[in-house]
Amino acid sequence: MKQTDAYKQRKRASRGFRRTSNLLQKRIRAVGETRGFAVTRLLTHWAEIVGEDTASIARPVDVKYGREGFGATLTLLTTGAQAPMLEMQKETLRTRVNTCYGYTAISRIRITQTAATGFAEGQAQFSPAPKAKPKTFSPETKQAAHKAAAPIADQGLRDALEALGENIISKSRH
């Protein structure tokens, strides 16, 4: 009986909140494995593995395991202007990536070049997108949102509802 009580208690404890990383781990692994990445750490910690300078000019695209020979080929995506610099660093990159795997998993590195804009799969965007500018609303929109949220007693909630109201009112007018 004691074992079943402990089992029920453990089962109840696991029903609560979970870390986001635990929820997404299976999905990230599945997507990574379709591209040949058996170790997803290479994707998630790319900047730490190869360094900030290299991570800003290149990113891993896929890993292909060939029929002949031992080891795989890692394909890196970069822009055309950065390819010669990356070509000179191939051996250093291969060593760092194999350190991540823990053994000599990668025997070759292939560099793929693309333009800064292009097809969805080949776009080379290595820096985060710029932050969006805050929206500006007309005085009429602000006044209507203020009027709608006026009965709310809590100041923080009233401010949040005014911001929401401004967005809704501006969308409905367009």
Using CA atoms, how far residue 55 sits from 6, 44, 50, 106, in Å, is: 48, 12, 6, 18
pLDDT single digits (tens) 36-94: 555 667 777 888 888 888 888 888 888 887 766 677 888 888 888 888 989 999 999 99
169 CB contacts (<8 Å, ≥6 apart)? 137, 141, 144, 145
Give residue limits of the domains in the chain: 18-114, 139-173
Q: Residue 150 corresponds to which amino acid?
A: A
Distance CA 123, CA 111 (A): 14
Of 54, 124, 56, nearest to 96 (Cα)? 54
15 CB contacts (<8 Å, ≥6 apart)? none
* 96, two tokens: 């760092």
Q: What is the pTM of this model?
A: 0.48
* 79, two tokens: 């822009």
Query: Is 1.10.10 the CATH classification of the domain at 18-114?
Result: no
Distance CA 56, CA 162 (A): 40
Most confident of 11-15, 49-53, 100-104, 169-173: 49-53
